[in-house]
Chain A
Amino acid sequence: MSLLSRLRNLVRSNDLSHDIEREMRFHLDERADDLVAAGMPADAARHEARRRFGNVGIQQERTRERDLIAWLDTFAADLRYALRALRAAPAFTLVAVLSLGLGIGANTAIFTIVNAVMLRSLPVSHPEQLVAIETTGGNSYFTNPIWEQLRDRQDVFSGAFAYAQRTFDLSNGGEARRGDGNMVSGDFFTTLGVRPIAGRLLTTADDRRGCAPLAVVSDGFAASEYGGAEAAVGKLLSLNGHPFRVVGVTDPRFTGINVGERSQIYVPLCSIALLDGGPARLEGRSNWYLHLIGRPKTDLTTERIDARLATLAPSITEATVPPQFDAKSAAEYRAMKFVGAPAANGFSELRTTYRKALLVLMAIVAVVLLIACANVANLLLARATVRRRELAVRLALGAGRARLFRQLLTESVLLSTIGAAVGALFAVWGSRMLLRLLERSDRVVTLDLSLDMRVLSFTILISVITGLLFGLAPAWRAGHLDPQAAMKAQSRGLAEGHSRFNAGKALVAAQVALSLVLVAAAGLLLGSWRTLATLDPGFQRDHVLLVTADLGATAIKPELRRAAYTDIVARLRAIPGVQLVGQSQMTPAGQSSWNDELQVDGYVPRSPHDALAWMNAVGESYFASLRIPLLAGRDFSKVDTPESPHVAIVSREMARHFFGSTNAIGRRFRISQGRTYGEPIEIVGVVGDTKYRSLRDSIQPVVYLAASQEQDVSRSYSFEVRTTTPPLSVAPSVKAAVAAVNPKISLDLTTLERQIDESLAVSKTIASLAGFFGVLALVLATIGLYGIMAYNVARRRNEIGVRIALGALPARVIRMVLGEVGQIVVAGVALGVALSLVAMRIVATFLYGTTPTNAPTLAGAGAILLVVGIAAAALPAWRAARLDPVSALREE
Chain B
Amino acid sequence: MPKTKNDILQGTLGLLVLKTLDAQGRMHGYAITSHIQRVSDDLLRVEEGSLYPALHRMAQDGWLRAEWGTTEKNRDARFYTITAAGRKQLALEEESWTRLRDGVTRVLRYA
Binding site for B on A (CB under 8 A): 1, 5, 19-20, 22-24, 26-27, 29-31, 33-34, 51-54, 58-59, 62-63, 66-67
Contacts and interface: CB of A to CB of B under 8 A. Distances in A.
Contacts of B75: 26, 29-30
Interface in B1-31: 1, 28-30
Contacts of A27: 29-30, 33, 48, 52
Contact of B28 (A26, A33, A59): A26
B49 A67 contact: no
Contact of A52 (B48, B53, B76): B48
B87 interface: no
Of A20, A26, A54, A58, most B-chain CB atoms within 10 Å: A26
Contacts of A22: 76, 78
Contact of B78 (A19, A33, A62): A19
A828 B30 CA distance: 68
A62 B57 CA distance: 11
Nearest to B53: A63
Contacts of B76: 22, 26
Closest 7 CB pairs of A and B: A54-B49, A30-B30, A63-B53, A23-B78, A26-B77, A1-B60, A53-B48
Nearest to B57: A66
Contacts of A54: 48-49
A62 B61 contact: no
Q: Is the interface of A mostly helix, strand, loop or mixed?
A: helix
B60 A5 contact: yes
A26 B29 CA distance: 9
A31 B30 contact: yes
B99 interface: no
A848 to B, nearest CB: 63
Interface residues of B, number: 19
Given A19-B78, A23-B77, 18 more contacts: A20-B52, A22-B76, A23-B29, A26-B75, A26-B78, A27-B29, A29-B75, A30-B75, A34-B34, A52-B1, A53-B49, A54-B49, A59-B52, A62-B53, A63-B53, A66-B53, A66-B57, A67-B60
Given A19-B78, A30-B30, A52-B1, A24 B52 contact: yes
A208 B3 CA distance: 99
B101 interface: no
Interface of B: 1, 28-30, 33-34, 48-49, 52-53, 56-57, 60-61, 73, 75-78
A18 to B, nearest CB: 11
A53 B53 CA distance: 13
A23 B60 contact: no
A31 B51 CA distance: 14
A59 B73 CA distance: 25
B61 A1 contact: yes
Nearest to A60: B52
A35 to B, nearest CB: 12
Contacts of B60: 1, 5, 66-67
Given A20-B52, A54-B49, A26 B57 contact: no
B1 A63 contact: no
Contacts of A24: 52
15 contacts: A1-B57, A5-B60, A22-B76, A26-B28, A26-B30, A26-B77, A27-B52, A34-B34, A52-B1, A52-B48, A53-B48, A54-B49, A59-B52, A63-B52, A66-B60
B78 A59 contact: no
Contacts of A26: 28-30, 75-78
B28 A66 contact: no
Contacts of A29: 75
Contacts of A34: 34
B3 to A, nearest CB: 13
A524 B92 CA distance: 66
B60 to A, nearest CB: 5
B83 to A, nearest CB: 14
A563 B53 CA distance: 101
A53 B1 CA distance: 10
Nearest to A52: B48
Given A5-B60, A26-B30, A31-B30, A59 B77 contact: no
Contacts of A53: 48-49
A448 to B, nearest CB: 46
A16 to B, nearest CB: 9
A490 to B, nearest CB: 40
A63 B75 CA distance: 22
Contacts of B33: 27
A680 B49 CA distance: 108
Nearest to B56: A63
Nearest to A19: B78
Contacts of A59: 49, 52-53
Contacts of A31: 30
A4 to B, nearest CB: 11
A173 to B, nearest CB: 81
